[in-house]
Amino acid sequence: MISKGFAASKIHPSAIERVWIQMKVVKVSDQVKFKSEKMNKVSLFDSDRFFCDVYCLEPGQAQKVHAHEGSDKIYYLLEGKGRITVGSQEKELQAGDITLAPSGDVHGVVNHTGDPLVMLVFMAPKPQ
Amino acid sequence: MISKGFAASKIHPSAIERVWIQMKVVKVSDQVKFKSEKMNKVSLFDSDRFFCDVYCLEPGQAQKVHAHEGSDKIYYLLEGKGRITVGSQEKELQAGDITLAPSGDVHGVVNHTGDPLVMLVFMAPKPQ
pLDDT at A97: 98
Using DSSP, state whether B109 is helix, strand or coil: strand
Q: Do B122 and A50 touch (CB under 8 A)?
A: yes
The model's pTM is 0.84
Q: How far A54 CA sits from the closest chain B CA (Å)?
A: 11
A contacts of B45 (beta carbons < 8 Å)? 74, 98, 100
Domain layout of chain A by residue ranges: 27-124
Give per-residue burial for B96-112: e unless 16+ CB within 10 Å, then b.
Answer: ebbbbbbbbbbbbbbbe
What whole-number percentage of chain A has pLDDT above 90? 78
Q: What is the mean pLDDT of residues A70-85?
A: 97
pLDDT at A127: 78
Inter-CA distances, B6 with A7, A73, A109, B3, B17, Å: 54, 22, 21, 5, 12
- ipTM more than 0.85? no
Q: How far A47 CA sits from the closest chain B CA (Å)?
A: 8
CATH (residue range A27-124): 2.60.120.10
**pLDDT per residue rounded down to tens, chain B (128 residues):** 333 333 334 455 555 554 456 899 999 999 999 999 999 999 999 988 999 999 999 999 999 999 999 999 999 999 999 999 999 999 999 999 999 999 999 999 999 999 999 999 999 998 77
Cis peptide before B127 (omega within 30 of 0): no
**Nearest CB to B106; choose among A15, A89, A124:** A15
pLDDT greater than 60 at residue A101: yes
Residue of A nearest to B32 (CA): A96
Q: Do A122 and B50 touch (CB under 8 A)?
A: yes
Mean pLDDT of chain A: 87
